[in-house]
Amino acid sequence: MEIKITTSQILKVLYVLSWIIFIGLCIEAGGILFNFFYTLLVNPMGSQMFWKDVNLLSLYEYDKGYFITETLLMSIVAIMQAILFYLIVKILHNKKLNFTQPFNFEMKRFVSNVSNLAIGIGIFSHWGAENTKRMVAKGVIMQDVDTLGLGGADVWLFMGITLFVIAQIFKRGVEIQTENDLTI
Protein backbone atom coordinates (compact mmCIF):
# COMPACT_ATOMS: atom_id res chain seq x y z
CA MET A 1 0.00 0.00 0.00
CA GLU A 2 1.48 3.29 -1.11
CA ILE A 3 0.44 6.60 0.33
CA LYS A 4 0.50 9.44 -2.16
CA ILE A 5 0.42 12.99 -0.94
CA THR A 6 -0.57 15.39 -3.66
CA THR A 7 0.60 18.95 -4.05
CA SER A 8 -2.95 20.09 -3.39
CA GLN A 9 -2.96 18.34 -0.01
CA ILE A 10 0.41 19.82 0.93
CA LEU A 11 -0.81 23.30 0.00
CA LYS A 12 -3.92 22.84 2.18
CA VAL A 13 -1.76 21.85 5.15
CA LEU A 14 0.57 24.80 4.50
CA TYR A 15 -2.45 27.09 4.26
CA VAL A 16 -3.67 26.01 7.71
CA LEU A 17 -0.16 26.26 9.22
CA SER A 18 0.31 29.70 7.68
CA TRP A 19 -2.96 30.88 9.24
CA ILE A 20 -1.87 29.59 12.65
CA ILE A 21 1.53 31.27 12.39
CA PHE A 22 -0.03 34.49 11.06
CA ILE A 23 -2.49 34.68 13.97
CA GLY A 24 0.31 34.00 16.46
CA LEU A 25 2.48 36.73 14.94
CA CYS A 26 -0.42 39.19 14.98
CA ILE A 27 -0.99 38.46 18.67
CA GLU A 28 2.72 38.94 19.36
CA ALA A 29 2.89 42.24 17.44
CA GLY A 30 -0.27 43.46 19.15
CA GLY A 31 1.05 42.45 22.56
CA ILE A 32 4.30 44.32 22.04
CA LEU A 33 2.48 47.44 20.80
CA PHE A 34 -0.08 47.33 23.60
CA ASN A 35 2.59 46.96 26.28
CA PHE A 36 4.63 49.72 24.65
CA PHE A 37 1.77 52.22 24.85
CA TYR A 38 0.65 50.96 28.26
CA THR A 39 4.14 51.46 29.67
CA LEU A 40 4.53 54.92 28.14
CA LEU A 41 1.07 56.31 28.84
CA VAL A 42 -0.35 54.47 31.86
CA ASN A 43 2.13 52.62 34.06
CA PRO A 44 5.93 52.74 33.67
CA MET A 45 6.17 49.62 35.82
CA GLY A 46 4.63 47.76 32.87
CA SER A 47 8.14 47.59 31.49
CA GLN A 48 9.00 45.13 34.25
CA MET A 49 6.70 42.47 32.80
CA PHE A 50 6.62 43.59 29.20
CA TRP A 51 5.63 40.89 26.71
CA LYS A 52 6.38 37.19 27.19
CA ASP A 53 8.15 37.87 30.50
CA VAL A 54 10.56 40.36 28.94
CA ASN A 55 11.86 42.72 31.60
CA LEU A 56 12.77 46.14 30.20
CA LEU A 57 12.59 48.05 33.49
CA SER A 58 16.35 48.59 33.62
CA LEU A 59 16.30 50.04 30.11
CA TYR A 60 13.28 52.24 30.91
CA GLU A 61 14.97 53.57 34.04
CA TYR A 62 18.25 54.15 32.17
CA ASP A 63 16.70 56.20 29.37
CA LYS A 64 13.15 56.47 28.10
CA GLY A 65 14.40 57.23 24.56
CA TYR A 66 16.39 54.01 24.40
CA PHE A 67 13.34 52.15 25.70
CA ILE A 68 11.22 53.63 22.91
CA THR A 69 13.87 52.75 20.31
CA GLU A 70 14.20 49.15 21.49
CA THR A 71 10.47 48.51 21.71
CA LEU A 72 9.83 50.14 18.34
CA LEU A 73 12.46 47.86 16.77
CA MET A 74 10.81 44.87 18.43
CA SER A 75 7.43 46.05 17.09
CA ILE A 76 8.69 46.64 13.56
CA VAL A 77 10.21 43.15 13.39
CA ALA A 78 7.03 41.52 14.74
CA ILE A 79 4.78 43.49 12.36
CA MET A 80 6.95 42.70 9.34
CA GLN A 81 6.89 39.00 10.23
CA ALA A 82 3.09 39.14 10.47
CA ILE A 83 2.87 40.90 7.09
CA LEU A 84 5.13 38.25 5.56
CA PHE A 85 2.78 35.49 6.68
CA TYR A 86 -0.21 37.55 5.59
CA LEU A 87 1.22 37.53 2.07
CA ILE A 88 1.67 33.76 2.28
CA VAL A 89 -1.90 33.24 3.51
CA LYS A 90 -3.19 35.61 0.83
CA ILE A 91 -1.49 33.86 -2.09
CA LEU A 92 -2.58 30.44 -0.84
CA HIS A 93 -6.15 31.65 -0.22
CA ASN A 94 -6.53 33.36 -3.60
CA LYS A 95 -5.09 30.29 -5.29
CA LYS A 96 -2.75 32.43 -7.40
CA LEU A 97 -0.35 29.52 -7.72
CA ASN A 98 -0.58 28.51 -11.37
CA PHE A 99 1.47 25.37 -11.95
CA THR A 100 0.88 25.39 -15.71
CA GLN A 101 2.40 28.87 -15.98
CA PRO A 102 4.52 29.39 -12.86
CA PHE A 103 6.18 32.52 -14.22
CA ASN A 104 3.35 34.99 -13.84
CA PHE A 105 3.14 38.52 -12.53
CA GLU A 106 1.48 37.49 -9.24
CA MET A 107 4.26 35.05 -8.34
CA LYS A 108 6.95 37.54 -9.33
CA ARG A 109 5.36 40.19 -7.12
CA PHE A 110 4.87 37.71 -4.26
CA VAL A 111 8.48 36.50 -4.25
CA SER A 112 9.74 40.07 -4.58
CA ASN A 113 7.60 41.30 -1.65
CA VAL A 114 8.61 38.36 0.56
CA SER A 115 12.25 39.01 -0.34
CA ASN A 116 11.98 42.69 0.61
CA LEU A 117 10.23 41.84 3.87
CA ALA A 118 12.85 39.24 4.81
CA ILE A 119 15.66 41.70 4.12
CA GLY A 120 13.81 44.35 6.15
CA ILE A 121 13.32 41.96 9.06
CA GLY A 122 17.02 41.12 8.92
CA ILE A 123 18.03 44.79 8.93
CA PHE A 124 15.76 45.76 11.82
CA SER A 125 16.68 42.62 13.78
CA HIS A 126 20.36 43.45 13.36
CA TRP A 127 19.75 47.04 14.38
CA GLY A 128 17.87 45.90 17.49
CA ALA A 129 20.54 43.35 18.39
CA GLU A 130 23.29 45.95 18.05
CA ASN A 131 21.25 48.39 20.13
CA THR A 132 20.89 45.72 22.82
CA LYS A 133 24.65 45.07 22.80
CA ARG A 134 25.32 48.80 23.21
CA MET A 135 22.97 48.95 26.19
CA VAL A 136 24.62 45.94 27.82
CA ALA A 137 28.03 47.57 27.28
CA LYS A 138 26.72 50.65 29.10
CA GLY A 139 25.75 48.49 32.07
CA VAL A 140 22.02 48.23 31.41
CA ILE A 141 20.57 44.86 32.36
CA MET A 142 19.03 43.48 29.17
CA GLN A 143 17.68 40.13 28.13
CA ASP A 144 19.19 38.28 25.20
CA VAL A 145 18.20 39.22 21.65
CA ASP A 146 16.30 35.96 21.10
CA THR A 147 14.04 36.69 24.06
CA LEU A 148 13.44 40.19 22.70
CA GLY A 149 12.46 38.73 19.30
CA LEU A 150 15.44 40.29 17.56
CA GLY A 151 17.57 37.19 16.98
CA GLY A 152 18.44 35.59 13.68
CA ALA A 153 19.21 38.70 11.66
CA ASP A 154 21.81 36.84 9.62
CA VAL A 155 19.31 34.12 8.73
CA TRP A 156 16.69 36.67 7.67
CA LEU A 157 19.22 38.51 5.52
CA PHE A 158 20.42 35.27 3.93
CA MET A 159 16.85 34.21 3.18
CA GLY A 160 15.99 37.66 1.82
CA ILE A 161 18.95 37.72 -0.53
CA THR A 162 18.22 34.17 -1.69
CA LEU A 163 14.61 35.13 -2.37
CA PHE A 164 15.79 38.28 -4.14
CA VAL A 165 17.78 36.11 -6.56
CA ILE A 166 14.71 33.89 -7.07
CA ALA A 167 12.59 37.03 -7.64
CA GLN A 168 14.97 38.10 -10.40
CA ILE A 169 14.67 34.65 -11.98
CA PHE A 170 10.88 34.97 -11.85
CA LYS A 171 11.12 38.46 -13.36
CA ARG A 172 13.15 37.10 -16.27
CA GLY A 173 10.80 34.13 -16.60
CA VAL A 174 7.80 36.47 -16.86
CA GLU A 175 9.63 38.49 -19.54
CA ILE A 176 10.41 35.36 -21.58
CA GLN A 177 6.88 34.00 -21.16
CA THR A 178 5.40 37.35 -22.26
CA GLU A 179 7.66 37.40 -25.34
CA ASN A 180 6.61 33.84 -26.20
CA ASP A 181 2.92 34.70 -25.79
CA LEU A 182 3.34 37.68 -28.11
CA THR A 183 5.09 35.67 -30.83
CA ILE A 184 2.40 33.00 -31.00
Backbone angles phi, psi at 2, to 5 degrees: -110, 130
How confident is the model at residue 121, as a pLDDT? 96
The structure's pTM equals 0.88
28-71 pLDDT, tens per residue?
999 999 988 988 888 888 777 777 778 888 888 888 899 899 99
Residue 65 located in a structural domain: yes
Cα end-to-end distance, the chain, whole Å: 45
Residue 2 located in a structural domain: no
Residue 1 located in a structural domain: no
Residue 37 located in a structural domain: yes
Residue 62 located in a structural domain: yes
Torsion angle of C-alpha atoms 46, 50, 54, 58, degrees rounded to 10: -40
Domain extent, residue 102, equals: 7-183
Question: 108-138: b or e for each residue (b if 16 or more CB lie within 10 Å)?
Answer: bbbbbbbbbbbbbbbbbbbbbbebbeebeee
Residue 72 located in a structural domain: yes
What is the amino acid identity at position 155? V
How confident is the model at residue 184, as a pLDDT? 55
How confident is the model at residue 90, as a pLDDT? 92
Residue 72 contacts by C-beta under 8 Å, 6 or more apart in sequence? Answer: 36
Residue 129 located in a structural domain: yes
**How big, in percent rounded to 5, are the helix, strand and coil portions of the chain?**
75, 0, 25
User: Is the Cβ–Cβ distance between 29 and 75 less than 8 Å?
Assistant: yes
- Which residue stretches of the chain have pLDDT < 50? none
Query: Based on the structure, what is the number of domains in the chain?
Result: 1
Q: Residue 49: helix, strand or coil by DSSP?
A: coil
Residue 73 located in a structural domain: yes
